[in-house]
């Protein structure tokens, strides 16, 4: 019995749409990361990109538990001394809600070139509209 190995010519990519309203941030991010990598498919191959495109809508309505809106912080540094900046989760959701979900999914992917390539297949929108209707994305079931 030979082991099946997916190749870029034999892969099949689907488009999935996820409604993030009311979903917990971390639980949603793990399932989106699995779909991007292709781990939900039987032909999953770790070294080949067999994952699906994922469109996330209503990213501004994502839920978090506890007091994370006030206490969770996002840091960035420009490289200059004394230039460390931070924002709370509430400030990030007000300013750029799609960035919150993108960073959560990115943290659950491996740190390599393939994962950076797979992360480009993630499309996040703060509201209910998205421009990918021509691809006819199928709704993805997400466990709350």
Contacts of residue 140, defined as CB under 8 A and 6 or more positions apart, other chains included, come to 16, 17, 18, 31, 35, 54
Predicted TM-score (pTM) of this structure? 0.94
**134 assigned to some structural domain:** no
**16 assigned to some structural domain:** yes
HSE-up of 77 (CA within 13 Å, CB side)? Answer: 5
**76 assigned to some structural domain:** no
Number of domains into which the chain is organized: 1
CATH number for the domain including 12? 3.90.1180.10
- Which pLDDT value is given to residue 71? 97
**53 assigned to some structural domain:** yes
Residue 144 pLDDT exceeds 80: no
For 49, the domain range is 1-63+105-126
Q: What backbone phi and psi angles, to 5 degrees, belong to 10?
A: -100, -5
**118 assigned to some structural domain:** yes
- Which pLDDT value is given to residue 1? 85
Residue whose C-alpha is closest to residue 35's, from 131, 108, 113: 108
**31 assigned to some structural domain:** yes
Residue whose C-alpha is closest to residue 52's, from 130, 126, 120: 120
User: Tens digits of per-residue pLDDT, 35-58?
Assistant: 999 999 999 999 999 999 999 999
Q: Residue 88 in contact with residue 102, Cβ under 8 Å?
A: no
**54 assigned to some structural domain:** yes
User: Tens digits of per-residue pLDDT, 65-116?
Assistant: 999 999 999 999 999 999 999 999 999 999 999 999 999 999 999 999 999 9
């Amino acid at each position: 019995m030979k082991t099946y190995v997916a190749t870029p010519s034999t892969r099949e990519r689907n488009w999935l749409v996820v409604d993030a309203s009311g979903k917990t941030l971390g639980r949603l991010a793990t399932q989106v990361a699995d779909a991007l990598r292709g781990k939900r498919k039987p032909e999953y191959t770790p070294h080949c990109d067999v994952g699906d495109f994922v469109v996330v809508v209503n990213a501004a309505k994502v839920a978090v538990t506890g007091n994370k809106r006030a206490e969770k912080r996002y840091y960035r540094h420009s490289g200059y001394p004394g230039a460390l900046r931070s924002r709370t989760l509430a400030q990030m959701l007000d300013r750029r809600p799609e960035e919150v979900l993108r960073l959560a999914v990115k943290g659950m992917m491996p740190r390599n070139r393939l994962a950076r390539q797979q992360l480009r297949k993630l499309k996040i929108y703060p509201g209910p509209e998205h421009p990918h209707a021509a691809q006819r994305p199928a709704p993805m079931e997400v466990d709350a």
